[in-house]
């Protein structure tokens, strides 16, 4: 089972909440959450945000704006 740091948990939280992690990674996240109150609060806040925004219609972005955002995310991940 993978042992997650707080920073690593932040990187995989959406996959965790989408049930998209493999079982060892999911178990590692859950173990971390039992030991880290701050990350537990972070996950709770993330879930609350999802619930609050769930009923809002999606906004559309221009192709140019979407590509700029995706490029920024890719560059940040490799930095």
Q: pLDDT tens, position by position, for the chain (79 residues)?
A: 788 999 999 999 999 999 999 999 999 999 999 999 999 999 999 999 999 888 888 788 899 999 999 999 888 876 5
Confidence (pLDDT) at 78:
66
3-state secondary structure of 58: coil
With contact defined as beta carbons under 8 Å apart, do 62 and 72 qualify? no
Confidence (pLDDT) at 54:
84
Q: Provide the whole-model pTM.
A: 0.66
Confidence (pLDDT) at 79:
58
């Amino acid at each position: 089972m993978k042992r997650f740091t707080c920073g690593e948990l932040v990187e995989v939280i959406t996959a965790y909440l989408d049930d998209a992690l493999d079982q060892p990674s999911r178990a590692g996240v859950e173990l971390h959450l039992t030991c880290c109150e701050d990350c537990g609060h972070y996950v709770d806040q993330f879930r609350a945000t999802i619930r609050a925004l769930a009923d809002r219609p999606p906004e559309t972005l221009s192709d140019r704006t979407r590509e700029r955002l995706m490029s920024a995310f890719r560059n940040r991940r490799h930095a």
